Chains A and B, each alone.
Chain A
Amino acid sequence: MKFGCTDRISKLRDDLVSKACYGGKYEDGIFVDLSRAKLYMDSYKETEGCEPLIRRAKAQAHVLKNISIAILPNELIVGNPHADPHALSIFPEINCNLLREAIADGYVREQDREIAEELLQYWAGRNIADKVAENMSDWIKKIVSASSSFISTTWQDGIQHCIPNWDYVFEHGTSKIREKINAKLDEIKEQIGQQASSKLINARYLYEAMLLALDGLNAYVERFHTLALETAQSNILCREEMLQIAEILKSALKEPPKSLWEACQGFFFLHLIFTCIDSAAFGSLVRIDQSLWPFYKKDVIDEGKITREQAQELIEALMLKVQALGAFFSRKRRLHFEGNGALPIWSLGGVKSDGTDACNELTDLILQAAQSVRLNQPTISFMYHEKMRDSSLVEAIKTIRTGLGYPSFTNGDWMVQSLIRQGIPIEAARNSGVVGCVSCCPVDSCNTTKRLALTVIAAKSMELALNEGNCLVTGEKIGPDERPASEFKSYEDVISAVRKQLTFAVKTAVNVRNLARHYEKIYRPNPLVSALHRSPLETGIDAVTYEDYPNNCWLNMVGVINVVNSLAVIKKLAFEEKKYTLTEITAAIKSNWEGKEAMRQECINKVPKFGNDDHYVDEIAREIFKMCSDIAANTFDINGHFWSIVAQSVSIYQATAGMIGALPDGKLAGKPVADGGISPDHGTDRNGIFPVLSSVSTVDHFRTKGLLLNQWIAPELLEGEQGIAWMKAILKMWNRKGLSQIQFNVVDPNLLRDAQKNPAKYPNLTIRVSGYTANWVKLTSELQEIILSRTLQRG
Chain B
Amino acid sequence: MLLTKIVRDSILDGPGCRYTIFVKGCNLRCEWCHNPETQLLEQEVFTYEQFCIQCGLCLTAIGTNLPQKQMPIRIKDAADPRYFKCVDICPTGALSFAGKEYTIDWLLNDLLKYQLIYKQTNGGLTISGGEPLLSGDFSYELCRRVKASGIHTAIDTSGTLSWETVARFLPVVDLWLYDIKHTDDPAVQSALNIANFKKLINQNTEIWVRIPIIPGYNDNKSIWKEMARLIVAAGEKVTRIDLLPFHPYAAPKYTALRRHYKFGDRREETETIAKLAKSVFVSYLPKERVSMGKTMVHG
Contacts and interface: CB of A to CB of B under 8 A. Distances in A.
15 contacts: A601-B53, A688-B298, A689-B9, A690-B113, A726-B9, A726-B117, A733-B116, A745-B299, A771-B12, A771-B13, A771-B156, A771-B210, A773-B5, A774-B252, A779-B249
A731 to B, nearest CB: 10
Q: Which of B93, B247, B296 has the most CB atoms of chain A within a 10 A radius of its CB? A: B296
A106 to B, nearest CB: 39
Contacts of A773: 5, 7
B265 A782 contact: yes
Given A605-B91, A779-B249, A770 B210 contact: yes
A698 to B, nearest CB: 13
Interface string B222-252: 0000000000000000000010100111111
B57 interface: yes
A774 B210 contact: no
Contacts of B256: 778
B251 A730 contact: no
A694 B112 CA distance: 12
A730 to B, nearest CB: 6
B297 A694 contact: no
Interface in A741-765: 745, 747, 751-752, 764-765
A691 interface: yes
Contacts of B55: 597-598, 601
Contacts of A722: 11, 16, 121
A747 B113 contact: no
The 3 A-B pairs of least Cβ separation, nearest first, read: A712-B299, A601-B91, A729-B120
A508 to B, nearest CB: 37
A599 B248 contact: no
B249 A783 contact: yes
A5 interface: no
A767 B48 contact: no
A747 to B, nearest CB: 5
Nearest to A717: B11
B127 to A, nearest CB: 11
Contacts of A712: 298-299
Interface stretch (A96-104, A357-365, A786-794): A786-794
A584 to B, nearest CB: 15
B298 A729 contact: no
Interface residues on A, range: 35 or more
A579 to B, nearest CB: 11
Nearest to A730: B117
A355 B79 CA distance: 61
A730 B17 CA distance: 10
A728 B120 contact: yes
A70 interface: no
A717 B117 contact: no
A711 B57 CA distance: 35
B204 interface: no
Interface in B264-299: 265, 267, 293-299
Contacts of B294: 716, 769-770
Given A716-B296, A766-B297, A783-B265, 18 more contacts: A597-B53, A604-B91, A688-B8, A694-B113, A712-B299, A725-B16, A725-B120, A726-B121, A733-B116, A765-B297, A766-B298, A770-B13, A770-B244, A772-B34, A774-B250, A783-B249, A787-B295, A787-B297
A713 interface: yes
Interface string B45-65: 000100001010100000000
Nearest to A603: B91
B103 interface: no
A768 interface: yes
Contact of B298 (A713, A723, A736, A778): A713
Nearest to A790: B295
Interface of B: 5-13, 16-17, 34-35, 48, 53, 55, 57, 91-93, 113-114, 116-117, 120-122, 128, 156, 210, 242, 244, 247-253, 256, 265, 267, 293-299
A599 B57 CA distance: 11
Nearest to A602: B91
A17 interface: no
A713 B17 CA distance: 14
Contacts of B57: 598
Contacts of B92: 598, 601, 605
Contacts of B113: 613, 690, 694
Contacts of A790: 295
A722 B9 CA distance: 13
Contacts of B128: 771
A687 B298 CA distance: 11
B116 A732 contact: yes
A597 B8 CA distance: 33
Contacts of A176: none
Interface in A449-482: none
Nearest to A788: B297
Nearest to A778: B252
A195 interface: no
Contacts of B296: 714-717, 767-769
A779 B252 contact: yes
B252 to A, nearest CB: 5
Contacts of A602: 91
A220 interface: no
A776 interface: yes
A606 interface: yes
Nearest to B7: A773
Nearest to A779: B252
Contacts of B249: 767, 769, 772, 774, 779, 783, 787
Nearest to A776: B297
Q: Which of B7, B247, B299 has the most CB atoms of chain A within a 10 A radius of its CB? A: B299
A235 interface: no
Contacts of A783: 248-249, 251-252, 265
Nearest to A746: B299
A771 B23 CA distance: 11
B251 A769 contact: no
Contacts of B120: 725, 728-729, 732
Interface in A396-416: none
A380 B62 CA distance: 57
B246 to A, nearest CB: 10
B293 A778 contact: no
Given A712-B299, A728-B120, A765-B298, A733 B114 contact: yes
A755 to B, nearest CB: 9
A137 interface: no
Contacts of A774: 249-250, 252-253
Contacts of A687: 6, 8
A772 B248 CA distance: 11
Contact of A768 (B6, B12, B16, B253): B12
A767 to B, nearest CB: 6
B11 A713 contact: no
Contacts of A782: 265
Contacts of A598: 53, 55, 57, 91-92
Given A689-B9, A691-B8, A771-B13, A713 B295 contact: no
